[in-house]
Amino acid sequence: MTAPVLADALGPRGRRTARIVSVVTAAAVAAAVTLAFHRLRDNGQLDADLYRPFTQWAAIRFYLVGLLNTLKVAAVAMVLAMAIGVLLALLRLTRSLVLRVVATIYVEFFRGLPLYLLIIFSAFALPNYGIDLSLMTALILGLTVYNSSILGEVFRAGILSLDRGQTEASYALGLGYWQTMLLVLVPQAARRMLPTIVSQLVTLLKDTSLGVVIAYEELLRRSQIAAEFFGNTLQSVAFAAVLYIIVNYSLGRLAQRLEVRQRRRLGAGAINVAGAGEDLAIVAAQGEAGRADR
Amino acid sequence: MPRCDGPRLDGPSLDGPRLDGPRLDGRRRDGRRRGWAFLPLLLALTMVAAACGDSDDDPDTAGQSGGSGELRPTFAADSTMAKLQAKGKIVLGTKFDQPGLGQKNPLTNAVEGFDVEIAKIVAAAIFGGSVSAANSKIEFKETTSPNREVFLENGTVDIVVATYTINDARKQRIDFAGPYYVAAQDILVRADDNSIRSANDLAGKRVCSVRNSTPAQRIRTMVPSAELVEFDTYSLCKDELLANRTDAVTTDDAILIGFASENPRALKVVGNRFSTEPYGIGFAKLPGGQPDESFRTFLNDVLEKSYQDGSWKIAFDSTLGKSGVTAPQPPAVDRYAAGAAVTTTTSAP
Amino acid sequence: MDVVLDNLDEFLGGMQGTVVLTLVSFACAFVLGVVVAGFRVSPVSPLRFVGAAYVNVVRNIPLPAIFILFYFGLPNVGIGYSRFTASIIILAGYTGTFVAEAVRAGVNSVARGQAEAARSLGMTFPQTMRTVIVPQALRTVVQPIGSVFIALIKNSAVATVISVPNLTKSVERVVTDTAEFTPVYLGAAIAYLLLTLPSEQAVGWIERKVAIRR
């Protein structure tokens, strides 16, 4: 029989308390659900009309194409952000002060701004400077710029967490800075940072929903359009929410599994919270870097 | 030293002291992963949705140029109309979330509404054939208030028919044909609310409109003391009104009438219209900044013809008119002189 | 620049909105997060279930969707919060999930030997948590929670979706009214940086102060 560590197996009194709390909690949850159910019904939210659209394949397809758009935007933005992120990390580690400063300014600037602001700027302000982007491109641009600065930090921390010996050996073999980075360090850093990167992908997927403010037809906007047409705001957005949960939860589990595998290889890992505020990704990365120093 | 087999504090997710509870890696007892099927199933469905059936951009059979046997009008070789004919379709910028005027039907992926009907009349005039078949010649793109001029200028859309109010500021960047309808800003209130009878009565009240729209701006200027709340769509505003979380919804009366007719016992339109909103067909200037005179003449001719041959009334009755409103007199089109700052003279219906 | 000065009330109001939303939501999120973390490690399985369900559902839904669902869903459940209150609840509820996960991971990161030693000294579960585990865990958790705070500063912009005053909403309004893009966006960027950059420094400072020197 396995013994828990934080506390002894509960004795009779403990078990009784636990049982009382269980019953109370279960009762409270049941009561809340029933209450919500009745209130919803009284307000007409359980009427069949509001749910009928979901019985039609054409309507479901409408949402699914929205999901497809979401995934498309996320995929492109992620790839671009990773590429730029690697570049930024490398720039921040060069010997040249100018390059370091430029990269640092980029990172600190875009990391500190809300994504909402970046996106409406790309879509509505840029055209006034002559830069005309489609809605999809504007959304991708905002997401890329923001996430590239996050991933830049992630890669930088990943590179710093590698053994110095790798760098020294590369230089000893006559490889230059960029060669060392691209051929030796970045691939290793990327592997190490994989759970964090997947985590960041979850955040990015959620952030594509900001396309709703520029009326780009990703999933959330489509659910709004459908809600307008069928008159079922709650049901429509709830359906979209379910789709988001399925996708994000699966990715989150993937990140978790990757992290567990990393931990087994490298020892206790950093705090990795899938889908969290983006900066948690950086913290996770820095945690890796810090751990490697000890 | 006996090994503790208890859950490690620094192991994989600790979900509380477990005795012989569930596996810590979330798998089922037989090793299979729980709920593993959801995501692949969803992705498969998404791919099916994308593959079979309309993608979000192209409605059914857009892009075919002219069927055999259709009487196609001919145009001067370098005119915009000829270019559109050659392209085989006209890209229309319209709203996707305005009931009665421009609303996307998720079931058919087509956009429906009075604005769309006007565009179909234009398309039929360019490509020949009947108005009802003109849907296949139109590619729909969603335009919102901030991006209408941009989309015209950079060619993303050919025309904009989207509750597009004609005003001088916009005429600097693009041109208009029409107006094809004159709306007016009005107020929607709860049926039992008699305290709001005009725009000024909104002082200190809660008013709802769509974010960054012209009606919202106008209330901000006219009644600064009103508490203006802005959401993404008008039906959200309407829900707020019904839930007593706002006191009024304001926008063009064409839209408000639709809401009131859906809910005649609960909502009413105040009917004290302020500001006229002449809706026009927006189109780009020629490269170089000159107005596209031939196109504008063409569009104005098409509109006037639709007033005479009844197609305008049919368009109205089948969309805005469905709420029980009788079709007003169509407004006189304003063929303003190029470059002049013109006050649009229209007869208010 | 004149644009900014002419609309100063709007911007100051927006700034105030952002700051208040962030601070109040964070305080609530912190409390909520610690409580939920407690639920998730407790021996009472309904509590564990509630905690896990809450975290796994809320953190996988995008914030704008939560805003719409919660705010427009409220009247149907008979609750009538103002937009501002609803924003606080939503932001706190959303951010709380990340706090909960961070705290839980922090607790996990404390070496097992600590708990074993506490047990062998005869401490009960609450005593162990309170005097041994949580203080050490909190030290590890300062950085992640600080990051969550900074993310919250940025997430407050999403409250624009339900028309709650904040800096981003002020930007939208002024730009719509005046069409002056550069000064307004630049000003807003600087304002946000004035909030996020010092916060980053502060978090680093706090972390250094509580770091365990071995």
CB contact under 8 A, C163 and B236: no
- Higher pLDDT: B18 or A122? It is A122
B275: left (phi over 0), alpha (psi -120 to 50) or beta: left
- Euclidean distance between CA atoms C181 and C175, whole angstroms: 6
Taking CA atoms, what residue in C is nearest to B236?
C72
Confidence of residue B13 (pLDDT cuts 50, 70, 90): very low
Q: Cα angle vertex C45, ends C40, C49, to 5°? A: 60
Confidence of residue B88 (pLDDT cuts 50, 70, 90): confident
CB contact under 8 A, B16 and C52: no
Kind plus residue range of the DSSP H or E element containing B36: none
For B275, the token pair is 């500001």
* Residue range C188-208, pLDDT digits in tens: 999 999 999 999 999 988 888
- Mean pLDDT over each residue of chain A, to the nearest integer: 85
Q: Is C24 helix (H, G, I), strand (E, B) or coil?
A: helix
* Residue A88 forms part of a structural domain: yes
* Chain Cα centroid distance, residue A292: 25
- Higher pLDDT: A58 or A140? It is A140
A252-258 long-range contacts, Cβ below 8 Å, gap at least 24? Answer: A252/A199, A252/A202, A252/C59, A252/C60, A253/B26, A254/A198, A255/A195, A255/A196, A255/A198, A255/A199, A255/A202, A256/A195, A256/B12, A256/B13, A257/B25, A258/A194, A258/A195, A258/A198
For C53, the token pair is 């369900």
Q: What is the mean pLDDT of residues B262-288?
A: 87
For B62, the token pair is 């857009």
Q: Cα angle vertex B280, ends B275, B281, to 5°? A: 160
Contacts of B232 in chain C (CB under 8 A): 161
Of B143-147, B247-251, C170-174, C194-198, which range is least confident? B143-147
Q: Residue B109, CB half-sphere, CA atoms under 13 Å: how many?
A: 27
**In sequence order, which residues have a C-beta less than 8 Å from that of residue A196 and are 6 or more positions away?**
A154, A255, A272, A281, A284, A285, A288
- Euclidean distance between CA atoms C183 and C171, whole angstroms: 10
* Residue range C4-23, pLDDT digits in tens: 777 888 899 999 999 999 99
Of A105-109, B201-205, C196-200, which range is least confident? B201-205
- Measure C66 CA to nearest chain A CA, in Å: 8
Residue B97 is which amino acid? D
CB contact under 8 A, A233 and B235: yes
* Residue A25 forms part of a structural domain: no
In chain A, the N- to C-terminal Cα span, in Å, equals: 36
CB contact under 8 A, A229 and B103: yes
- Asked if the bond preceding B179 is cis, omega within 30° of 0, the reply is yes
**In sequence order, which residues have a C-beta less than 8 Å from that of residue B136 and are 6 or more positions away?**
B59, B60, B61, B62, B64
Kindly report the three-state secondary structure assignment for every residue of chain A. Answer: CCCCCCCCCCCHHHHHHHHHHHHHHHHHHHHHHHHHHHHHHHCCCCCHHHHHHHHCHHHHHHHHHHHHHHHHHHHHHHHHHHHHHHHHHHHHCCCCHHHHHHHHHHHHHHHCCCHHHHHHHHHHHHHHHCCCCCHHHHHHHHHHHHHHHHHHHHHHHHHHCCCHHHHHHHHHCCCCHHHHHHHHHHHHHHHHCHHHHHHHHHHHHHHHHHHHHHCCCCHHHHHHHHHHHHCCHHHHHHHHHHHHHHHHHHHHHHHHHHHHHHHHHHCCCCCCCCCCCHHHHHHHHHHHHHHHHC
- Residue B159 per-residue DSSP state: E
Which of B18, B23, B34, B42 to mutate to test binding with chain A, by most A CBs within 10 Å of its CB? B42
Partner B contacted by C176 (CB < 8 A): yes
Q: What percent of chain B has pLDDT over 90?
A: 19
For C142, the token pair is 């300062």
Q: Is the pLDDT of residue B18 over 50?
A: no
Confidence of residue C110 (pLDDT cuts 50, 70, 90): confident
Of A136-145, B41-50, C146-155, which range is least confident? B41-50
Query: What value of ipTM does the predicted structure carry?
Result: 0.90
For A188, the token pair is 């290793």
Structural domain total, chain A:
1
In chain B, the N- to C-terminal Cα span, in Å, equals: 94
Q: What is the mean pLDDT of residues B205-222?
A: 89
- Euclidean distance between CA atoms B333 and B342, whole angstroms: 13
What does residue B187 show for φ and ψ, rounded to 5 degrees? -130, 140
- Pairing mode, strands B174-190 and B248-252: antiparallel
Name the CATH architecture for the domain at C2-210. Orthogonal Bundle (1.10)
Q: What is the mean pLDDT of residues B251-276?
A: 84
CB contact under 8 A, C60 and A248: yes
- Euclidean distance between CA atoms C99 and C101, whole angstroms: 5
pLDDT attached to residue A101: 95
As a whole number of Å, the CA-based R_g of chain A is 24
Whether residue A280 contacts residue C147, with contact meaning beta carbons closer than 8 Å, is answered with yes
Q: Is the pLDDT of residue B5 over 60?
A: no
Q: What is the mean pLDDT of residues B116-126?
A: 92
- Higher pLDDT: A160 or A4? It is A160
pLDDT attached to residue A177: 84
- Mean pLDDT over each residue of chain C, to the nearest integer: 88
Partner A contacted by B76 (CB < 8 A): no
Q: Residue written as tokens 């996320």?
A: A74
CB contact under 8 A, A22 and C78: no
Whether residue A151 contacts residue A90, with contact meaning beta carbons closer than 8 Å, is answered with no
pLDDT attached to residue B334: 81
pLDDT attached to residue B54: 52
What does residue C184 show for φ and ψ, rounded to 5 degrees? -70, -50
What does residue A31 show for φ and ψ, rounded to 5 degrees? -60, -45
Q: Is the pLDDT of residue B65 over 50?
A: no
Partner C contacted by B173 (CB < 8 A): no
B96 CB burial (10 A radius; 0-12, 13-18, 19+): buried
Name the CATH architecture for the domain at B184-276. 3-Layer(aba) Sandwich (3.40)
Nearest to C41 among B4, B16, B236 (CB): B16
Count of all residues that appear for chain C in the document: 214
Contacts of B105 in chain A (CB under 8 A): 229
Q: Is the pLDDT of residue B344 over 60?
A: no
* Residue range A197-224, pLDDT digits in tens: 988 999 999 999 999 999 899 999 999 9
A16 CB burial (10 A radius; 0-12, 13-18, 19+): exposed
Taking CA atoms, what residue in C is nearest to B21?
C45
Most confident by average pLDDT, A27-41, B208-222, B262-276, C186-200: C186-200
* Residue range A14-69, pLDDT digits in tens: 788 888 988 999 999 999 999 888 888 888 888 888 888 888 888 899 999 999 99
Among A34, B334, B15, A57, smallest CA distance to C47 is for B15
* Residue A22 forms part of a structural domain: no
B310: left (phi over 0), alpha (psi -120 to 50) or beta: left
CB contact under 8 A, A276 and C59: yes
Taking CA atoms, what residue in C is nearest to B221?
C177
* Residue range C116-163, pLDDT digits in tens: 888 888 887 778 878 888 788 878 888 889 999 999 999 999 999 999
Q: Which of residues 198-257 of B touch A (CB under 8 A)?
A: 232-236, 239
pLDDT attached to residue C212: 63
Confidence of residue B228 (pLDDT cuts 50, 70, 90): very high
For A253, the token pair is 């589990």
Q: Is the pLDDT of residue B336 over 50?
A: yes
Confidence of residue A287 (pLDDT cuts 50, 70, 90): low
pLDDT attached to residue B130: 84
C132-160 core/surface letters (b: 16 or more CB in 10 A; e: else):
bbbebbebbbbbbbbbbbbbbbbbbbbbb
Q: Is B129 helix (H, G, I), strand (E, B) or coil?
A: coil
CATH of B80-181+278-323, one of 3.30.70.100, 3.30.750.200, 1.10.150.120, 3.40.190.10: 3.40.190.10
Q: Is the pLDDT of residue B347 over 90?
A: no
- Euclidean distance between CA atoms B160 and B158, whole angstroms: 7
CB contact under 8 A, C143 and A234: no
Partner A contacted by C125 (CB < 8 A): yes
Partner C contacted by B172 (CB < 8 A): no
B340 CB burial (10 A radius; 0-12, 13-18, 19+): exposed
- Euclidean distance between CA atoms A241 and A223, whole angstroms: 10
Domain residue limits, chain C:
2-210
The domain in which residue A112 lies consists of 75-293
For A17, the token pair is 């308390």
pLDDT attached to residue B35: 66
What does residue A274 show for φ and ψ, rounded to 5 degrees? -65, 135
**In sequence order, which residues have a C-beta less than 8 Å from that of residue A32 and are 6 or more positions away?**
none
pLDDT attached to residue C164: 93
- Measure B208 CA to nearest chain C CA, in Å: 10
Confidence of residue A83 (pLDDT cuts 50, 70, 90): very high
pTM: 0.85
Kind plus residue range of the DSSP H or E element containing B340: none
- Measure A139 CA to nearest chain C CA, in Å: 15
pLDDT attached to residue A68: 93
- Euclidean distance between CA atoms C177 and B217, whole angstroms: 7
pLDDT attached to residue B59: 43
**In sequence order, which residues have a C-beta less than 8 Å from that of residue A27 and are 6 or more positions away?**
none
Q: Residue written as tokens 């939208």?
A: C172
Q: Which of residues 32-91 of C touch B (CB under 8 A)?
A: 40-43, 45, 48, 52, 72, 75, 80, 83
Which of A62, A220, A236, A273 to mutate to test binding with chain B, by most B CBs within 10 Å of its CB? A62
pLDDT attached to residue A285: 56
Q: Residue written as tokens 């159910």?
A: A37
Domain residue limits, chain B:
80-181+278-323, 184-276
For A171, the token pair is 């230089």
Partner B contacted by A42 (CB < 8 A): no
- Euclidean distance between CA atoms C187 and C1, whole angstroms: 9
Q: Which of residues 101-120 of C touch A (CB under 8 A)?
A: 101-102, 105-106, 109, 112, 115-116, 119
Whether residue B249 contacts residue B188, with contact meaning beta carbons closer than 8 Å, is answered with yes
Residue by residue, DSSP assigns B211-235 as TT-HHHHHHHHH-TTSEEEEESSHH
pLDDT attached to residue B26: 54
- Higher pLDDT: B183 or A284? It is B183
pLDDT attached to residue A86: 93
pLDDT attached to residue A100: 93
Among C140, C151, C162, C123, smallest CA distance to C207 is for C140
Partner B contacted by C173 (CB < 8 A): yes
Q: What percent of chain A has pLDDT over 70?
A: 86
* Residue A89 forms part of a structural domain: yes
Q: What percent of chain C has pLDDT over 70?
A: 98
* Chain Cα centroid distance, residue C5: 31
Which of A237, A246, A260, A286 to mutate to test binding with chain C, by most C CBs within 10 Å of its CB? A237
- Residue B3 per-residue DSSP state: P
B327 CB burial (10 A radius; 0-12, 13-18, 19+): middle
